[in-house]
Structure 1
Amino acid sequence: MGYIPEHALANLRKYAYKGVDKSLLSKYVLGPYWTWLVTLWPKWVAPNTITLSGLMMVLINFATLIYYDPDYLSERGGATDPPRWIYFTWAAGLFIYQSFDAIDGKQARRTGMAGPLGEMFDHGCDAINTTLEVILAGRALNLGRSWWTVASLAASLGCFYLTTWEEYHTGQLYLGTFSGPVEGIVMIIGIYVTTGFLGPTFWDTPTLTFLHLDNVEIITKYIPNKGLNEAAMAAGAVVLAYNIVTSYFNVYKAKVEAKEGPFRPLLHLLPFPITVALQVAWLSSPSFSRSFIVNSPLFMPFLCAWGLQFAHQVGRMILAHVTKEPFPWFDAMWIWSLIGAIDANLLRLIGRQPLIQHSPENVKIFIHLSLALSLISYTTFCAQVINEITNYLGIACFTVRKKDESGAWRRAASVDKIITNKKA
């Protein structure tokens, strides 16, 4: 069975990217740099190759965390800080990722390869990057394995889900004055650089003390003197609330202009809190201890499995967008997460021990199996969708080639010229 129904394939040819970028940083600072950067790439390099190269930088960053901070995956939980220079490489890798992510669309237009496949590929890489950066940024902020990291992941994935939901209902991608792909990434790069200079423990500094406001009674009376890292989490919650309001405003406006019901799209937000509730219920199970998984080496595999399931969920949303198909309400991996959450909470629900996760060793096996199944599910989705789109449109994924009307493979730009000449 394919992911794209036969009747929806024709909609792939109707797809056209639409986007709005209101970021001042993008317009006046990064935009000119991106415009210059794309000219350095030969036109024989496919845009998806650039996108994948950017994701590889993030994967290398993630690999250095595992290699230079093995305690993060041990019972000690990051008791030993990795070398300071690692954080500078994380900043460089993320900056490269952002740069490549920004120019892949420009390269697509230069090479005549713009289309729904690039949209799918770009969003897929962004979804993976979101989870990995939360883990890396959590380590840089000295949050490590904690509920703060869980909250950060939920908020970050929530912002990504909102953007995808908004694009599905409005038909275009909105990047506001403060967006994750621009300002959000720049802020994380700043965190990495600061940690490189001052170390992760710097972020434990009480915020009011850092601002020299800890002696101002009217402020200390109402504002707790929490660490800079916790203040950053509070700021993230404000950003999420702002994104919810602005995203719905854009959807409401689009639906009113289209003379459609502006409130029904709100129902399509429900799948995300459902998935978050399942994961949090699993993490907060009373078996062994309330934070057993959070405080164990299983924390990273659990978050990675969650991130892969999320990437599959938003991937299907983008696919529905480019094929003009109904909104995907359900994801099969929910069943697995539901089993994990219910089993772990049997003590709380019916007063008996879990049937599957009844020992630390069984919990370890089950979570690693969750990671494996999530990876298989997502990679299968990616491979199959790429295969269906490339076969129908007659294009390649990682090379600048198209099939002309005779079925022969040619450079994309050459095909565009052939078709233009025939129409003329």
Structure 2
Amino acid sequence: MEVQYLTQQHLAGFEHYKYSSLDTSPLSIYVMHPFWNNVVKLVPKWVAPNLLTFVGFLFTVGNFMLFVWYDYEFYASSDDHPEFPSIPHWVWGFASINFFLAYTLDGIDGKQARRTGTSGPLGELFDHGLDSWTALFIPTCMYSAFGRSANDYSIQPVRMYFCLWNVFINFYISHWEKYNTGVLFLPWGYDASMLATILVFAITSVCGHQVWKFNMPGDVSAGHMFELLFYVSAIVTNLPVALWNIYRSYKDKTGKMRTFYEAVRPLVPVVTFIALSAIWVLYSPSDIMNADPRCVFFLTGSIFSNICCRLIVTQMSNTRCEVWNWMLLPVLVGMCMSLVLPPALNGELVILYILAVFCTLAHIHYGACVVRQMCKHFKIYCFKIKPHDE
């Protein structure tokens, strides 16, 4: 059943939308863009940019599913859990190639759009919407390189959970920044993190996961350094820069010039979700974080992606951001039920699985309906370039 998620105000706003971004990363400017400029020339002009975006996303999802099969519990790289076999070397190499292909396709889809004269709001929304979900899949795959053992060189699932939230917050802040400034300031950390991920998986494919079992100066393990980098990237680099750019847009009168309440309004649903999920994870009667961390990660990332997609829609259409996401209601109900059910019934895990399936299907339905609405409104196709005679 198709639902009209976009209002006429949204669609009218999309008609006047113009993409504005600023990329100042030396790695991006001097290395990646020259590489992508050459790669895109190999792509036939009949290939739709959104098709490149979607195929790149599928490479990332494919990696996630591969690690679901070989390391669902995140114990494969924990040496004190020999009952879980190690991940085969070929899996790491295959995943490294997949991430490289996904990163490359994500880098050339916009260039293909400009090259074929098909640039438009649908392409940006499609690209960034899928990226918001990718923010879950890549770090979760990376966690398998270090494992989850308490006596090993890694971190516990609950700490990894908050590392994931750092990735989500970084992504969300960039679009909240654009909501207020009108300009997407591309963070420096994205290109570096993608190349680091590809390199980590390539090294692991050759040397095995044992290569990361070492301590750095100060008795800091490689896994703990991996955790520290998440927090540094959010607190030290991205957040201060975003706040400064927003402040400067008000000072120079170049941004949207919203009131304080309207400017911070997009933060309400994501902060509410952080609070709800943290309460559930920290006070879970049956400790769902240790019982099934992968499902907790997946549920959280899927709901976050939906919240972020709705922000991107309002930001691009220059409309008022929603202050509540309806997906938070079933999470609240599920959390309350799990806190009162006897742990012996194992009902909390059942609630977690039901929520994961329901919220994932609801998110896919939202994305599909929004894409269909935009295609119908602009009289275009999503995965095919419209012939000129049409």
Instruction: Return the TM-score normalized by structure 2.
Output: 0.89
The alpha carbon displacement at 1:77 in A equals 10
1:148 is aligned, of 146, 149, 159, to 159
Q: 2: CA distance between counterparts of 1:234 and 1:360?
A: 37
Name the structure 2 match of 1:387.
Answer: 372
2:301 is aligned, of 300, 303, 307, to 307
Map 1:12-411; keep pairs closer than 5 Å.
12-69=14-71, 72=74, 79-143=84-148, 146-176=157-187, 178-180=188-190, 182-208=191-217, 223=218, 225-241=219-235, 242-258=237-253, 260=257, 263-264=260-261, 265-288=263-286, 292-296=287-291, 298-345=292-339, 354-355=340-341, 358-359=343-344, 361-401=346-386, 410-411=387-388
Q: Secondary structure at the match of 1:326?
A: coil
Alignment check: 8 A CA contact 1:159 1:240 kept: yes
Q: Secondary structure at the match of 1:273?
A: helix
The alpha carbon displacement at 1:258 in A equals 2.6
Q: 1: CA distance between counterparts of 2:75 and 2:122?
A: 36
Alignment check: 8 A CA contact 1:54 1:97 kept: yes
Give the total of aligned pairs.
374
Tell me: CA distance 1:377–1:117, structure 2 relative to 1, closer, same or farther (3 Å). same
Name the structure 1 match of 2:152.
Answer: none
Tell me: CA distance 1:201–1:107, structure 2 relative to 1, closer, same or farther (3 Å). same
Q: Secondary structure at the match of 2:140?
A: helix
Point out where structure 2 has 5 or more consecutive residues left out of the alignment.
Answer: 150-155
The alpha carbon displacement at 1:117 in A equals 0.7
Tell me: CA distance 1:8–1:146, structure 2 relative to 1, closer, same or farther (3 Å). closer
The percentage of counterpart residues that share the same residue type is: 25
Tell me: CA distance 1:340–1:88, structure 2 relative to 1, closer, same or farther (3 Å). same
Q: Secondary structure at the match of 1:2?
A: coil
Larger radius of gyration: 1
Comparing 230-239 and 49-58, the one that deviates more: 230-239
Give the root-mean-square deviation of aligned CA atoms: 2.3
Point out where structure 1 has 5 or more consecutive residues left out of the alignment.
Answer: 209-222, 346-353, 402-409, 416-424
Q: Secondary structure at the match of 2:185?
A: strand
Tell me: CA distance 1:195–1:18, structure 2 relative to 1, closer, same or farther (3 Å). same
The alpha carbon displacement at 1:343 in A equals 3.3
Q: Secondary structure at the match of 2:123?
A: helix
The alpha carbon displacement at 1:48 in A equals 0.5
Tell me: CA distance 1:70–1:286, structure 2 relative to 1, closer, same or farther (3 Å). closer
The alpha carbon displacement at 1:193 in A equals 2.1
Q: 2: CA distance between counterparts of 1:122 and 1:316?
A: 14
Q: 2: CA distance between counterparts of 1:183 and 1:397?
A: 30
The alpha carbon displacement at 1:274 in A equals 2.2
Comparing 49-58 and 331-340, the one that deviates more: 331-340
Name the structure 1 match of 2:153.
Answer: none
Q: Secondary structure at the match of 1:140?
A: coil
Q: 1: CA distance between counterparts of 2:75 and 2:225?
A: 26
Instruction: Return the TM-score normalized by structure 1.
Output: 0.82
The alpha carbon displacement at 1:3 in A equals 1.8
Q: Secondary structure at the match of 2:382?
A: coil
Q: 1: CA distance between counterparts of 2:18 and 2:244?
A: 23
Q: Secondary structure at the match of 2:225?
A: helix
Q: Secondary structure at the match of 2:288?
A: coil
Q: 2: CA distance between counterparts of 1:8 and 1:29?
A: 37
